[in-house]
Amino acid sequence: MSSSLRRNQFPDFFTLKGPIPTKITPLQFGNKICYQSSVITSDTEMNFISKPQLKPYLDNDDEMVNCEEIEDNYDIILTKSGKFQTSFYVPSSLLSFIIGAKGSKLKALQKNTNTIIKIPRINETGDIIIQGDTERRVASARTQIAIIVADRKNRLRFTHFVGIPVNSKIINDNFNKFQEKVLEDPARGISKSIFQSPPKLHLTIEVLTLLDKEEITLAKKSLEICYNEYISKLFPSNFNRKVTVKGLDIMNDDPSNVYVLYANVQMQSQELTEKLQQICNHISNYFARVGLAKKKYDTVKLHMTIMNVNYRESGEEKAPFDARTIIEKYGNFYFGEFELQYFDLCIRGTSVSDTGEAKYYETALRISL
């Protein structure tokens, strides 16, 4: 996005009515512009832009959107009429937040980007179509709609995630041993509830909020495309599939106040580890490109979550815990190895069996290597 488009505050169509009013702040990082979505706490706050207070990195989830990189990857075509056009799907339940009262937000969006935006009628399915005289105008309009959609989805819990299952009895057994040792003398904020359940262990690639069947279908199709066009061509058929899980790290800079503690993962060679990293990055970028995920970081953090404050039981405060002793004693803890076999589109909330025991998530799609 060019410097001429930078401003201290976005137009009115970014201010969404609802129980949690928000604002969007442009932030400069080198030659890139990112946008931070934050809660408005007073009536006067919109009159100036305060220094952003970013939340800790919580397991591949934050509030940053890198619009410049996303715009460069949009599918924009040149029509026979000489107009540039892009089309994409938005769940019907979110269309009203794009349209606004009496169409006010849609009109403002079209005026500010000098584009024509066609939106399906409420309760009808179909793509949003944007047309304009230049690619940049079309891309800008699509990005601003994407931010509105992301803002609404951020208020909802994620429903699915793309991940790699960690299917290993040795890792499960060592995980249980690690948990027992830590709970023998737990530091502040540590309880059994914040530990992951061994049957649910996985590597998270991307978290998703899919609101209808069309979005689920798009997610499944996207993962299949990633496999057919990229993953299947990157790994040779006879590669060493072993992944080692060893060593601990945290998602923030202060080991005395930790939200997520995770184990590091690597394959049997640096080359294979780099290929796995490239695959995870490609999946994350592709899902952002089709509008199903936010573009958050240049690279996905390869990790297996061990402890997360979001796992605390209902009613418990999601307070951080002190991980200094854990890192000092078990910083190089060896969990074991597992075989890289699948890329899964997992369904959140399906990890409890009929008998109440923890199990691995049900999958909307499983891709076998």
Buried b / exposed e along 104-132 (16+ C-beta atoms within 10 A): ebbebbbebbebebebeeeeeeeebebbb
What is the C-alpha separation between 317 and 312, in angstroms, rounded?
A: 8
9 or 351: whose pLDDT is higher?
351
- pLDDT one-digit tens code per residue, 223-275: 999 999 999 999 877 888 999 999 999 999 999 999 999 999 999 999 999 99
Write down the pLDDT at residue 355.
85
Q: Note whether 3-153 and 160-368 share their fold.
A: no
Write down the pLDDT at residue 69.
52
Write down the pLDDT at residue 37.
55
Write down the pLDDT at residue 235.
84
- pLDDT one-digit tens code per residue, 161-180: 999 999 999 999 999 999 99
What is the C-alpha separation between 36 and 53, in angstroms, rounded?
A: 10
Q: Which CATH superfamily is domain 3-153 in?
A: K Homology domain, type 1 (3.30.1370.10)
Taking all residues of the chain, what is their mean pLDDT, rounded to a whole number?
Answer: 84
| Structure token pair of residue 31 | 């030659």
Write down the pLDDT at residue 294.
81
- pLDDT one-digit tens code per residue, 8-67: 444 444 444 444 444 455 554 555 555 555 544 444 444 333 333 333 434 544 444 445
Average pLDDT value for residue range 135-164: 93
| DSSP secondary structure of 120-158 | PPTT---EEEEEESSHHHHHHHHHHHHHHHHHHHTTS--
Highest mean pLDDT among 4-8, 144-148, 220-224, 294-298: 220-224
Would you put residue 351 in left (φ > 0), alpha (ψ -120 to 50) or beta?
alpha
Q: Report the number of secondary-structure helices (H) and strands (E) in the chain.
A: 9, 15
Contact 361, 348 (CB under 8 A): yes
pLDDT at 181 over 60: yes
CA atoms within 13 A on the CB side of 188: 9
Write down the pLDDT at residue 53.
36
- pLDDT one-digit tens code per residue, 139-148: 999 999 999 9
CA distances from 34 to 31, 189, 369 (A): 10, 33, 35
Would you put residue 336 in left (φ > 0), alpha (ψ -120 to 50) or beta?
left
Q: Give me the sheet containing 22-29, strands edge to edge.
A: 22-29, 32-39, 64-66
Give me the residue spans of the domains in the chain.
Answer: 3-153, 160-368
Average pLDDT value for residue range 60-76: 57
Q: Give me the sheet containing 342-347, strands edge to edge.
A: 334-339, 242-250, 260-267, 303-308, 202-208, 160-165, 342-347, 363-368
- pLDDT one-digit tens code per residue, 182-214: 999 999 999 999 999 999 999 999 999 999 999
Please compute Rg for the chain using Cα positions. Answer: 22
Place of tokens 């299952």: 165
Average pLDDT value for residue range 134-141: 93
Percent of the chain with pLDDT over 70: 80
Write down the pLDDT at residue 197.
95
- Per the document, the length of the chain is 369
Average pLDDT value for residue range 278-303: 90
- Structural fold of domain 160-368: Cyclic Phosphodiesterase; Chain: A, (3.90.1140)
pLDDT band at 336 (very low <50, low <70, confident <90, very high): very high
18 or 107: whose pLDDT is higher?
107
Instruction: Write a three-state SS string for 58-91.
Output: CCCCCCEEEHHHHHCCCCCEECCCCCEEEEEECC
Q: Any idea which of 94-103, 209-218, 294-303 has the lowest mean pLDDT?
A: 294-303
Write down the pLDDT at residue 360.
94
